[in-house]
A and B are shown apart, each in its own frame.
Chain A
Amino acid sequence: MFDITGKRFWFFLVSGVVILIGIISLATFGLALGIEFSSGSRLMISFDEREVSQDQLRQELANLGYPNAIIQSEILPTGQGDFFIRTRELTGEEKEELKDALAAEFGHITEKGFSGVSAEVARETTHTAAIAVAVAAVGILLYITWAFRRMPSPFRYGTCAIVALLHDVLVVLGVFSILGGVLNWEINLMFITGVLAVIGYSVNNTVVIFDRIRENLTKGVSPNFEVVVNNSLVETLSRSLNTSLTTLIVVLALLLFVGASIQNFAVVLLIGIIAGTYSSLFVAPQLLVVWERGEWGRFLQWLPVAKAKSR
């Protein structure tokens, strides 16, 4: 039988490093907000006559008086050479002028999509999204309290599930901050939707595992809590992995075949499902063990950094 719980400190270390990188990125790049939240225009075009690089386009936009335009090109092999150009809110005439000027420079262009969001709507959307995240947090908390009502120490289980949930959100935010800084990916409404879906997904994975721990505790599998947790993890392992795998399959299919317009969303789900599976196996139950054994201090001593210092 696998010894999963025995390696718990390694799991914490991996999570810690990933989250730390994410936090550093969040502190440096922050999160790039899409037009839904910060207002502006987003134009999707393709160049039909010749290939245009992102730099050429950026240069031309700067010449046309849009030095702050943010350009995102479709990174996936579907639909060749589509560009998203994000600018301040454009009027109809400004947009036509911009298109004409780009066509004059790069040849015929096709306008594949356009959206414009006013400051008023952006404000409302941000407000509603914030409320939604708050309500979701409260809803999930209530659910956790309810789901763990029969557990030996409900507060402890609840807290560990919430830590796992925060872990997933931090990983997703961190990765998106890096994508935002490097590839100009923006946080849009579908991103928030994806994050909420991931939260739901991750919590229910954790609940299934905790449920098994509770069952094994009542059965009295072993007096050693660590062994009970380990057994429960191993017993549910194939379920956890299979479920994540089937979901990952469809998310990958979405990402690879549908592409740009749903790209942010699919990537949130992809990262969130991986992080959620990891945290429900290697963070939440392991935290329970650490808590049960009161070994918070041991983890700090175990850390390689601490070892190096003590030498």
Chain B
Amino acid sequence: MTRRNMLTLIIILALFAFAICALIYPMFDRQQIRLGLDLVGGSHLVYQAQFPEGATGEDKTRAMDRALDTIRTRIDKYGVTEPIIQKQEGERILVQLPGFTDIEAAKRLVEQTGFLEFREVELNNGNPVYLGDYLENQNSEFFNKGEDSARIFVGEKRDDGKHYPIAFLSKDEEGNFKYIDEEGSPIDIEELRQIEEQIKAQLELGSAALLSWIPARGGDGTQLTGGFLKEARPSITTGITAEPEVAIEWNEEGGIIFDDIAERLYSRPSESQERCIGIFLDNILISHPQIIEPAYHGSGVITGNFTIEEVEHLANLLESGALPMPLQKPPLYEEMVSATLGAGFIDMSIKAGVIGIILIMLFMVIYYRLLGLLASLALIFYGTLVLALFKLIPVTLTLAGIGGFVLSIGMAVDANVLIFERMKEELRAGRTLGAAIETGFNRAWTAIRDSNITTFIVCGILYWVGSSIVAGEPVMGFALTLFIGVAVSMFTAIIVTRTLLRLFVGTRLAQRTSLFSVYSGRR
């Protein structure tokens, strides 16, 4: 046994000890191997941000950053651990919520623009304007000439207590009326007339349906929106029935605007629709309470037909603010894995890995005897080192990544097989064990190197594929774990097995060729 070999052995053992420690104890701030969404369960969403035409790159970047912050704030309030919210190429937003398996709730949470605005009823000589008035009106002038922005018309109240928009009326560049739907596509006038008549036939007294809602503005012409909110929190009405509501607090400017509006609306006839303030969230009229005081001094409540969850959601939404741009619905990509399924995968893949390793060891020991035993020791070292690397780098393990790791175990012994076969040939040619080891390793090295190159090429390509497509994590994980696995296997097969083998050179064991199964593999 040479001194150099001893040194190598010590380094190997130290590395092994380090790898085991790294796996058992938290190290470099890492408690455990990071597991992918498919293993822990959760939701994965990819959205396309929609910008108006002509938005500059700088605007977009700023808006994207703000959108990420907004989404993060919304998600943080739900206590999701380690959510991933990232910008992706092509103005896309990736949201990964480990452990959050209610994908519909996740989508609502992210998608909702959260644009809160306050509107009032448009008046024509003191009378409320209806959709019918516009449809009959042949000229292209708004009744309220001072207000140029879009009117929203909503349908009858639905089961959830909200009024959903049926049409938006605005003017095109030539100053003509155009009716559009929520997606911005034009609505056929005849169709709209039919819808209007249907709703009108069943219109309830005092309903908000079909009214023309225009922005509610303060004295200086600023529209009151969620942007002026200081605080929003869930609360309960103080009355005979306890109804969930959202208590809001305006900032200074918002408080002034609101009081301007309240004062104006308060002067209108009481118990009339004209006195209502319409609270619109993402173009949906969630409630339209009466203004009962001329001034509110900066605070108020949003009431509606809410459940407790809904008020919590709404308060969270208002607090985190509006998204600077809408997201395309449905998402470009969505995926949900239940937590039980993910946990099952972990158990199953550990089982597969352990059984695979044991079978390979058995095979190696039976076929190569002592050499196989050493290769098995090297394999244990290999497995520990690779797992430690996964934890320290860190590699996020997905199901496909585990597949890559397990596959690399099978391929890891290839280097040993190549070397052992060479060694056996050398031993058969009558060389001593020491000489056979050295020539065997040296001659097999080129074959090992060359044969692993194709795997590296493929890993490189797959990694690129995985990183350039939506939801390519499995492919990326596979490429990464296979690459690490094969690279480490070259190290363990060559350095570790050789060092272990050299320990036997010059001992009495080296004389017993049966231990090396020199002739058993020969045909």
Which A residues have a C-beta under 8 Å from some C-beta of B?
Answer: 1-2, 36, 44, 78-79, 89, 91-92, 95-96, 110-118, 120-121, 124-125, 128-129, 132, 135-136, 139-140, 143, 147, 189-190, 192-193, 196-197, 199-201, 203-205, 207-208, 211, 234-239, 242-243, 245-251, 253-254, 256-259, 261-262, 265-266, 269
Contacts and interface: CB of A to CB of B under 8 A. Distances in A.
A253 B355 contact: yes
Contacts of B479: 193
Nearest to B457: A139
Given A193-B462, A257-B349, A249 B338 contact: no
11 contacts: A115-B333, A125-B469, A136-B458, A197-B478, A201-B455, A204-B453, A243-B411, A246-B363, A246-B410, A249-B359, A262-B399
A193 B417 CA distance: 26
A200 B414 CA distance: 14
A166 B349 CA distance: 31
A237 B521 CA distance: 10
Contact of A246 (B360, B400, B453, B523): B360
Contact of A196 (B330, B411, B462): B462
B407 A197 contact: yes
A69 B98 CA distance: 29
A115 B363 CA distance: 40
Contacts of B104: 92, 95-96
Nearest to A273: B410
A215 to B, nearest CB: 9
B458 A243 contact: no
Given A196-B461, A265-B403, A243 B348 contact: no
B418 interface: yes
B101 to A, nearest CB: 9
A207 B335 CA distance: 41
Given A92-B104, A243-B417, A249-B363, A258 B349 contact: yes
Contacts of A238: 421, 521, 523
Interface residues of B, number: 73
Contacts of A247: 407, 410-411, 414
B107 A92 contact: yes
B451 to A, nearest CB: 4
Interface of B: 38, 46, 48, 103-104, 107, 330-338, 340-341, 344-345, 348-349, 351-353, 355-356, 359-360, 363-364, 367, 399-400, 402-403, 406-407, 409-411, 413-414, 417-418, 421, 425, 446-447, 450-455, 457-458, 460-462, 464-465, 468-472, 474-475, 478-479, 482, 521, 523
B417 A254 contact: no
A200 B367 contact: no
Given A140-B457, A250-B360, 6 more contacts: A91-B330, A92-B330, A121-B332, A140-B454, A193-B478, A257-B349
A118 B90 CA distance: 15
A261 B336 contact: no
Contacts of A250: 352-353, 356, 360, 406-407, 409-410
A97 to B, nearest CB: 12
A117 B331 CA distance: 8
Contacts of A143: 453-454, 457
B476 to A, nearest CB: 10
Contacts of B38: 261
Contacts of B464: 132, 135
What 8 pairs between A and B have smallest CB-CB spacing? Answer: A204-B451, A247-B410, A250-B410, A250-B356, A200-B458, A257-B352, A253-B356, A200-B454
Contacts of A251: 407, 410
B423 to A, nearest CB: 12
A129 B411 CA distance: 25
A251 B405 CA distance: 11
Given A196-B462, A247-B407, A259 B348 contact: yes
Given A136-B458, A247-B410, A190 B474 contact: yes
A246 B413 contact: yes
A73 to B, nearest CB: 16
Contact of A266 (B48, B403, B409): B403
Contacts of A199: 454, 458
Given A89-B330, A257-B351, A262 B403 contact: yes
Contacts of B468: 128
A200 B457 contact: yes
A249 B349 contact: no
Contacts of B451: 204-205, 207-208
Contact of A261 (B399, B457, B471): B399
A96 B107 CA distance: 14
B334 A115 contact: yes
B406 A253 contact: yes
B462 A118 contact: no
Nearest to A43: B336
Listed residue (A95, A112, A124, A147) with the most chain B CB atoms within 10 angstroms of its CB = A112
A189 B472 contact: yes
Contacts of A192: 465
B407 A190 contact: no
A24 B409 CA distance: 36
Given A189-B474, A204-B454, A132 B461 contact: yes
Contacts of A248: 410
Contact of B353 (A95, A124, A253, A266): A253
Given A125-B469, A196-B461, A265 B454 contact: no
A118 to B, nearest CB: 5
A109 to B, nearest CB: 12
A118 B333 CA distance: 6
Contacts of A120: 48, 332
Contacts of B465: 128-129, 132, 192-193
A204 to B, nearest CB: 4
A110 B338 contact: yes
Contact of B345 (A125, A204, A261): A261
Contacts of B417: 239, 242-243, 246
A245 B345 contact: no
B490 to A, nearest CB: 13
A1 B355 contact: no
A74 B464 CA distance: 31
B523 A1 contact: yes
Nearest to A142: B457
Listed residue (A96, A114, A266) with the most chain B CB atoms within 10 angstroms of its CB = A114
A135 B399 contact: no
